Amino acid sequence: MKLLSKIQEIQQQRVLKRLTSVKRSRRLTSMEQVKTIALIFTVGSERQWNVLDEYITRMERSGKQVFAVGYQAKDLQLDYIITHTKCTICHEKDDFNIWNIPKEEVILPFAKRKYDLMLDTTAERTFWSLYMSARIAAKIKVSHCQHDEDGRHKEIYDFEIKNVEAYRVSEFLSESAKCLDMMSGKGIVV
């Protein structure tokens, strides 16, 4: 099993290297100018989903289109329903190939679109969150900062929000909008 895990890791690194080598044009805009948002998340507690669902609803009411993709671990049993119509859930094992990479047919409806803003709301940086973030075409990509980074994220994200305390999705979403508006107002180029 160790050998398969090592081979998977090598293959995943190759895929990430290929995805991050693609040139993309980064363009900073204010939240007011954002029309499409890609939201990456890990399926977790109902409380966390309610925060994301409230954010999605608020953004859609303001005229933005929000598409979400989530990762659900095989041993996670949900006691709530994810009802957003523009949401794709990748189920561990069922929706991944032998290299533990999401199957194309599962993520294509999400990945084929171009977005103004991508928000990676996952609490821990995993291959899945890095892969989805690298795979998505977005003008600006935002994540949160972790202390134990290995550097793989630097080619993927345009900026990161550092949380002072424990990671909270609601704070990340709020701080992302504030930073985007502040930087676009000052003409900062990423």
Per-residue pLDDT for the chain (190 aa), expressed as one digit of tens each? Answer: 688 888 888 888 898 888 887 777 777 678 888 999 999 998 888 888 889 999 999 999 999 999 999 888 877 777 667 777 788 888 887 898 988 899 999 999 899 999 999 999 987 888 889 999 999 999 999 988 765 555 666 778 888 887 655 568 888 888 888 888 787 665 444 4
What element of type H or E holds 89? Answer: strand 87-91
Residues in the chain, total: 190
- Say what the pLDDT of residue 57 is: 93
Residue 58's pLDDT is 92
CA-closest candidate to residue 91, choices 104, 102, 82 = 102
Q: Which of 184, 52, 43 is nearest to 116 (CA)?
A: 184
CA angle 91, 134, 152 (to 5 degrees): 105
Domains and CATH numbers, the chain: 2-185 (3.40.50)
Q: Give the pLDDT score at 4.
A: 81
Beta pairing, strands 114-120 & 87-91 = unpaired
As a whole number of angstroms, the distance between CA 134 and CA 44 comes to: 22
Per the DSSP assignment, residues forming a β-bridge with 41 are: 70
Give CA–CA dist 116/76, Å, rounded.
Answer: 32
